Chains A and B, each alone.
Chain A
Amino acid sequence: MPEFAVEMRGIVKRFPGVVANDGIDFALQRGEIHGLLGENGAGKTVLMSVLYGLYRPNAGEIFINGTPHKHYSPATAIGLGIGMVHQHFMLVPRLTVAENIMLGQEPTKSGVLLDRDAAVQRIEEFSRQYGLPIDPNARVNQLPVGAQQRVEIIKALYRGADTLILDEPTSVLTEQEVEHLKAALMKLKEEGKSTVLITHKLREAIGMCDRITVLRKGTVVGTVNANETDERELAEMMVGRDVVFTVRRSQATGEPEIALQAKDIEACDDRGLLTLKGVSFDLRKYEILGIAGVQGNGQAELAEVLTGLRPLRSGSISLDGLNLTGKTARDFIAAGISHIPADRQLRGLVMNFSLRENAILGQHRVRPFTLSRFWQSQRAITNHTRRIIEAFGVQAPNTTTLAQNLSGGNQQRLIVGREFSKEPCVIIASQPTRGLDVGGIEYVREQLLKMRDQGAAVLLISMDLDEILMVSDRIAVMYDGQIVAIKDPEETNRRELGELMLSGSPSHAAGYKS
């Protein structure tokens, strides 16, 4: 038996405009739990999707149990003993546990009849053997998330997996469920199974894994033994070393009155889990407040709450003394809040609308575009679109081109142009430079600073720590649905912010071991 269950060499995976994996070497020893650590967009999930046969790599070699494999499908991967538990479970909610697990590999009696009992019996065996308690006859939609995850794991084992890939398994679990998962993984290890654990949580990586490979921007930073490292070292590997910034910020000139005030905001995510757990802050005119944090700590929900797109569970929002609590997006727009949404293709633009139509989204009922209920000024709309195209450098053949025919960068310029030309008093900018090329990034940042200098209050939510440090006047760090610290960018650094982002407090981070 070869030493490695899986060996990947020089994996390159490109997507249009992005190199997700840039020559990655990865080796999984038999019987180990191997953590794959990195920020969002570092390429962890892509790498494992390549291994699972979901993506075909542009270059590189894959050895499974020592034999090279090329261009295979997930079905082949399953046949080779690889199982993957995705972040979003792939279960049929209305079927029972047993039905879900045997789906596609149903045992039969005399070749035709479904042998449900045999399946239930086998599932119970797996359940006992690996310490994954589950009731095979329960309906999946009645199970808590942790139990659904166990179903996914048993499903993979049922299909003969020797190598398990778990994508962010703990992000949906409670503390207690995490402990159970950890115990189950240890049991699997005893049984000789190999596991890859994709995560961005340092503490869990150290607590659960034998070895940890850290990825950053599609490349391997290094592989370390879990018992020879600490969170500080891993954080540094993940986010990179402190760099010297060219600070282009000038001091704010105007009176920094409070523009937007949020008090004890609580809100749930789409699944109904409490995601914002009491957030309070003041956003002032002539400032950019940067929100740093690892994705999934409530920033997305915060942006939606502050633009009226997500209901508050409790707390209040006011703008210049105007109470916006419980109001809808329409009222937030009317109050002068501009929003650059994180998902520009889903939220920011109607992809099948022309540039003209997109240029007035949100202002389509106000002058000069609409003069009465039954009269829109086509000329005003066209002129407005032309102005945005010129002032913000949108590359487009004409104003009637569909938004979907623009490149991502030009789509973003269109949104930025639309939102900034409203002369807003507050700008909520969510990942405004994500996916842009260097020129586009530069441009959007300059525009944000320009708006600030003109007196706008800007809330900048970004995964890019460099960006936050570069343009913010204050930096708030979000962790687990709360603002855990507000820092002055002159007096902090990447390392401190990184620790805050990853563990919620700087003091805990050093030397933590579980």
Chain B
Amino acid sequence: MLKRSTLLREMGITLLSITLAFGIGAFIIWAAGFSVSAVFINLWKGAFGGKLAIGQTLTKATPIIFTSLSFLIAFRCGLFNIGAEGQMYIGAMVAAVVGAHLHLPIVLHVVACLAAGGLAGAFWGWIPGYLKAQRGVNEFVSTMMLSYVAIGFSDYLVAPRGPLHDDKYWANQTVRIAATAALPRILKPTQVSMALAVAIFFALLVWYYLFRTPAGYELRSVGLSPPAAEYGGIRIKRKLILALSLAGLLAGLAGSGEVLGTHFRFIGRFSPGYGWDGIAGGLIARAHPIGAIFAALLMGALRAGGMQVQRSGAAPGDIAAVLQGLVIFFIIAPTLVRTLIRWRRR
């Protein structure tokens, strides 16, 4: 529990970092010969300028909420889940298959898809968790490598002649999910769907789990001090496996939400890097589940605004990417540095 003054200070630091990032970003835009004001105006317009823009921001923020939660729940147990991207692909794929090929009544079908996608992601997180606990395999490496395996595997499945390819189209995608499996759109005509509500619900759930249940207590104590956790009768290996499985589950839900609410099918390489955004989101949120909602909104806004910057011609997309990178870097750099120092000391 943070005390109010600490909370305010932490938020102040975060806001300062954001301001600093935009300042340096402005300098780079100016130095590159573009109009600073045009870029920032378009960034704002793309992110918050009207219903469509807000819809874009929220659509992009939705999976990032999940992947941020994925990163931070592992982080709370002292682990780095770098593989949310792959866990998300696995979850999305399984949700798409269950959504298209299973026939269930309306609400039940959605729940089944979410459950299946989440469990598939959980399995993809369980593997590095098991390897970490039983064999000491560094999860940093294993989650990332398994991520590439997952993405490559999904490519194969939906490629032409692949077993899940929709033969009606040339694109690398599966067939459309049944109408009963779709999450309803809540801000038409934008793509914002009930997946956003599910994501926020899960943020609250993760908060409750971490701070109000004995299981979450154990998970956090392993993250903060394995020797003390062991002393308290906590079985550390189980917690490591559990934490990475839960991380996989949340990432799997990110992918499921994309399929059920945004695309209504699995599309090869659908993610512009939501899994990676989750690492930044989790760190910006200082590993707090409620903070993850706001961190994801920031990341989503940057993505949406960046697209508008490019469309408007104010600057090439590369400049928008630079700006995104700077914001992420400035916000997480102090946290990341502090974290890595602590991690090495272990």
Which residues of A are interface residues toward B (Cβ below 8 A)? Answer: 307-309, 328-334, 339, 341, 343, 346-354, 357, 360-362, 364-365, 369-370, 373-376, 378, 400
CA distance A378 to B213 in the complex (A): 10
- Interface residues of A, dominant DSSP: loop
Residues of A contacting B214 in the complex (Cβ-Cβ under 8 angstroms): 364-365, 369-370, 373, 376
CA distance A328 to B220 in the complex (A): 20
Residue pair A364, B217 in contact (C-beta under 8 Å): yes
Q: Which residues of B in the span 220-236 have a Cβ within 8 Å of any Cβ on A?
A: 220-221, 224-225, 227-235
Residue pair B1, A341 in contact (C-beta under 8 Å): no
CA distance A328 to B238 in the complex (A): 13
Q: How far is the CB of A484 from chain B (nearest CB, A)?
A: 29
With A373-B214, A400-B1 in contact, do A361 and B232 touch (Cβ < 8 Å)?
yes
With A309-B231, A339-B231 in contact, do A351 and B213 touch (Cβ < 8 Å)?
no
Q: How far is the CB of A342 from chain B (nearest CB, A)?
A: 11
Cβ of B277 under 8 Å from chain A = no
Residue pair B218, A350 in contact (C-beta under 8 Å): no
CA distance A378 to B229 in the complex (A): 20
CA distance A324 to B214 in the complex (A): 25
CA distance A364 to B218 in the complex (A): 8
Cβ of B215 under 8 Å from chain A = yes
Residue pair A374, B233 in contact (C-beta under 8 Å): no
Residues of B contacting A351 in the complex (Cβ-Cβ under 8 angstroms): 224-225
Cβ of B3 under 8 Å from chain A = yes
Residues of A contacting B224 in the complex (Cβ-Cβ under 8 angstroms): 350-353
Residues of A contacting B230 in the complex (Cβ-Cβ under 8 angstroms): 309, 329, 347
CA distance A339 to B230 in the complex (A): 12
Residues of A contacting B213 in the complex (Cβ-Cβ under 8 angstroms): 373-376
Residue from the list A308, A348, A365 in contact with B228, Cβ < 8 A: A348
With A328-B235, A400-B3 in contact, do A376 and B228 touch (Cβ < 8 Å)?
no
Residue pair A328, B233 in contact (C-beta under 8 Å): yes
Residue of A nearest to B209 (CB): A374
Residue interface bits B255-266, CB-to-A below 8 A is 1, else 0: 000000000000
Q: Which of B212, B218, B228, B234 has the most CB of A within 10 A?
A: B228
CA distance A364 to B215 in the complex (A): 9
Residue pair A361, B3 in contact (C-beta under 8 Å): no
Residue of A nearest to B229 (CB): A350
Residues of B contacting A333 in the complex (Cβ-Cβ under 8 angstroms): 232-233
Residue of A nearest to B217 (CB): A364
Residues of B contacting A308 in the complex (Cβ-Cβ under 8 angstroms): 233
Residue from the list B1, B215, B221, B235 in contact with A361, Cβ < 8 A: B221
Q: Which 6 A-B pairs have the closest CB atoms?
A: A330-B233, A361-B232, A362-B232, A333-B233, A347-B231, A350-B225
CA distance A350 to B230 in the complex (A): 11
Residues of B contacting A400 in the complex (Cβ-Cβ under 8 angstroms): 1, 3
Q: How far is the CB of B274 from chain A (nearest CB, A)?
A: 29
Known: A346-B225, A347-B227, A364-B214. 11 other contacts (CB 8 A): A309-B230, A328-B235, A330-B233, A330-B234, A330-B235, A346-B227, A350-B229, A351-B225, A353-B220, A357-B221, A375-B213
CA distance A169 to B323 in the complex (A): 58
Residue pair A329, B231 in contact (C-beta under 8 Å): yes
CA distance A188 to B21 in the complex (A): 62
Residue pair A362, B227 in contact (C-beta under 8 Å): no
Q: Which of B215, B224, B227 has the most CB of A within 10 A?
A: B227
Residues of B contacting A348 in the complex (Cβ-Cβ under 8 angstroms): 228, 231
Residue from the list B218, B220, B225, B233 in contact with A329, Cβ < 8 A: B233
CA distance A354 to B217 in the complex (A): 12
Residue of A nearest to B228 (CB): A350
Q: How far is the CB of A430 from chain B (nearest CB, A)?
A: 11
CA distance A365 to B233 in the complex (A): 10
With A329-B230, A329-B231, A353-B224 in contact, do A376 and B212 touch (Cβ < 8 Å)?
yes
CA distance A116 to B217 in the complex (A): 54
Residue interface bits B1-34, CB-to-A below 8 A is 1, else 0: 1010000000000000000000000000000000
Residues of B contacting A361 in the complex (Cβ-Cβ under 8 angstroms): 221, 228, 231-232
Residue pair A353, B233 in contact (C-beta under 8 Å): no
CA distance A331 to B235 in the complex (A): 11
Q: What are 21 A-B pairs at a CB distance below 8 A?
A: A307-B231, A309-B231, A328-B233, A328-B235, A330-B234, A333-B233, A341-B231, A347-B227, A347-B228, A350-B228, A350-B229, A351-B225, A352-B225, A360-B217, A362-B231, A362-B233, A364-B218, A365-B214, A373-B215, A378-B212, A400-B1
Residues of A contacting B1 in the complex (Cβ-Cβ under 8 angstroms): 354, 400
Q: How far is the CB of A419 from chain B (nearest CB, A)?
A: 11
Q: Which of A329, A331, A339, A369 has the most CB of B within 10 A?
A: A329
Residues of A contacting B227 in the complex (Cβ-Cβ under 8 angstroms): 343, 346-347
Residues of A contacting B221 in the complex (Cβ-Cβ under 8 angstroms): 350, 353, 357, 361
Residues of B contacting A330 in the complex (Cβ-Cβ under 8 angstroms): 233-235
Q: How far is the CB of B213 from chain A (nearest CB, A)?
A: 6
Residue interface bits B199-218, CB-to-A below 8 A is 1, else 0: 00000000000001111011
Residue of A nearest to B213 (CB): A374
Residue of A nearest to B221 (CB): A350
CA distance A353 to B228 in the complex (A): 11
Residue of A nearest to B218 (CB): A364
CA distance A388 to B234 in the complex (A): 22
Residues of A contacting B215 in the complex (Cβ-Cβ under 8 angstroms): 373
CA distance A246 to B231 in the complex (A): 35
Q: How far is the CB of A308 from chain B (nearest CB, A)?
A: 8
Residue of B nearest to A354 (CB): B1
Residues of A contacting B229 in the complex (Cβ-Cβ under 8 angstroms): 350
Q: How far is the CB of B104 from chain A (nearest CB, A)?
A: 27
Residues of B contacting A357 in the complex (Cβ-Cβ under 8 angstroms): 217, 221
CA distance A369 to B232 in the complex (A): 15
Residues of A contacting B212 in the complex (Cβ-Cβ under 8 angstroms): 376, 378
CA distance A362 to B217 in the complex (A): 11
Residues of B contacting A350 in the complex (Cβ-Cβ under 8 angstroms): 221, 224-225, 228-229
CA distance A500 to B87 in the complex (A): 61
Q: How far is the CB of B307 from chain A (nearest CB, A)?
A: 40
CA distance A352 to B1 in the complex (A): 11
Residues of B contacting A346 in the complex (Cβ-Cβ under 8 angstroms): 225, 227-228
